[in-house]
Chains A and B, each alone.
Chain A
Amino acid sequence: DTEVTQTPKHLVMGMTNKKSLKCEQHMGHRAMYWYKQKAKKPPELMFVYSYEKLSINESVPSRFSPECPNSSLLNLHLHALQPEDSALYLCASSQGGGGVLEQFFGPGTRLTVL
Chain B
Amino acid sequence: GESVGLHLPTLSVQEGDNSIINCAYSNSASDYFIWYKQESGKGPQFIIDIRSNMDKRQGQRVTVLLNKTVKHLSLQIAATQPGDSAVYFCAETLYSSASKIIFGSGTRLSIRP
User: Contact residues of A with B, CB < 8 Å?
Assistant: 4, 31, 33, 40-45, 48, 50, 55-56, 90, 92, 94, 101-108
For window 15-66 of chain B, which residues contact chain A by CB distance below 8 Å?
32, 34, 41-46, 49
Contact among B44, B45, B95, B103 with A101 in the assembled complex (CB-CB below 8 Å): B95
Q: Is the CB of A103 within 8 A of B46?
A: yes
The list of the 4 closest CB pairs from A to B, nearest first, reads A105-B43, A42-B103, A101-B98, A48-B99
Question: Is chain B's interface secondary structure helix, strand, loop, or mixed overall?
Answer: loop
Q: Is the CB of B100 within 8 A of A101?
A: no
Give the total of B residues in contact with A, Cβ under 8 Å. 20
19 A-B pairs (CB sep. < 8 Å): A4-B43, A41-B106, A42-B105, A43-B44, A44-B103, A48-B100, A56-B99, A92-B43, A101-B32, A101-B49, A101-B95, A101-B98, A102-B34, A103-B46, A103-B101, A105-B44, A107-B42, A107-B43, A108-B42
Q: Is the CB of B99 within 8 A of A50?
A: yes
Number of A-B pairs, beta carbon distance below 8 Å: 49
Residues of B within 8 A of A41 (CB): 105-106
Residues of B within 8 A of A43 (CB): 44, 89, 103
Q: Is the CB of A33 within 8 A of B44?
A: no
